[in-house]
Structure 1
Amino acid sequence: MSGAGPAGRTLRAFRHPVLWVAGWVLLFALVAVGSLWSADDLPSPSISGFDKLQHFVGYAVLSAWAVMLFARIRAQALAALLVIAFGIAIEVAQGLMTVDRSAESADAVANALGALAGLLLSPTPLAGALQRLDARLGRTRA
């Protein structure tokens, strides 16, 4: 399968596009649940600043998935902006909707930096990883 597909294509060429879009939505849901879940019920690492690394990695994964999902850099960049907006919204929600969590600007910065880092995947061979996996899923065995 080709990398970007025909001009104007939003998603990369997949045999199972719904699967990959649903996977991205599921990742958003997991981040939201993990971010809004009571902090008392979650393990807390003893390493100072580890939560910022968790924020960075989580949002880098959301953005990297978008790079693997969308065919064009413009759609990838818009998806990264969506991921950043989501991160800000989650921080606001933590401040408004939870009793044991608070909105932290440092978390929002870590989220945004992670989302931007995920975009760095775009010019690499890893950007086609979902397409390669999709092609393997589509192969029939004799």
Structure 2
Amino acid sequence: MAAVTALKPIANARWWMGLWGLAVLVVWGGCLMPLPELPSVPANDKWQHFAAYFLLAASGVQLWRGRPALIRLALGLLLMGAAIEVAQGSFTAARQADPGDLLANALGVAVGIALSATPLGNVLLRLQPARD
């Protein structure tokens, strides 16, 4: 009997999952590092949050299938975003928690997860199908 998994049948699945995990760590690191002295662009920070969480969700959609797995992915990313905001407000001097960041994160996750209902939700599966 074959094991039932939410992981899509893609070639090099462990490698792709490791790459996704690395992306998660990059987001954590980027959000907790001191801010560089850059010119202020209105709402630039919100677009960065949207883009980061969109990319994490959209790439997760490439790896996992099925409603339960995608719900776990979305909830996990939303909890991660909330944890980062708490960490920014509690453990860094140069950063502060911002509810607007949570909204940008949530919108990025929602748009990324929505790709699962389109042909773009299986790009990796079409490019890297598992070989039996």
TM-score normalised to structure 2 length: 0.89
Partner of 1:38: 34
- Cα deviation, residue 132, structure 1: 2.9
Partner of 1:86: 80
- Cα deviation, residue 115, structure 1: 0.8
The count of aligned residue pairs is: 130
Counterpart contact for 1:73–1:122, Cα < 8 Å? no
Separation in structure 2 between the aligned mates of residue 30 and residue 45 of structure 1, nearest angstrom: 23
- Cα deviation, residue 124, structure 1: 1.2
- Cα deviation, residue 73, structure 1: 2.3
For residues 19-98 of structure 1, what are the structure 2 equivalents within 5 Å? Answer: 19-39=15-35, 42=36, 44-98=38-92
- Cα deviation, residue 45, structure 1: 4.7
Q: Unaligned stretches of 5+ in structure 1?
A: 1-5
Partner of 2:119: 125
Partner of 1:110: 104
**Which aligned segments of 4 or more residues in structure 1 are displaced greater than 6 angstroms?**
none
Counterpart contact for 1:66–1:80, Cα < 8 Å? no
- Cα deviation, residue 135, structure 1: 3.9
The alpha-carbon distance between structure 1 residues 44 and 132, as it changes in their structure 2 partners (threshold 3 A), is farther
What percentage of aligned pairs have identical amino acids? Answer: 38
Counterpart contact for 1:52–1:106, Cα < 8 Å? yes
Partner of 1:12: 8
TM-score normalised to structure 1 length: 0.83
Higher relative contact order (CA 8 A, sep 6+): 2
Q: Unaligned stretches of 5+ in structure 2?
A: none
Separation in structure 2 between the aligned mates of residue 31 and residue 37 of structure 1, nearest angstrom: 10
Separation in structure 2 between the aligned mates of residue 92 and residue 127 of structure 1, nearest angstrom: 31
Counterpart contact for 2:9–2:129, Cα < 8 Å? no
- Cα deviation, residue 9, structure 1: 2.8
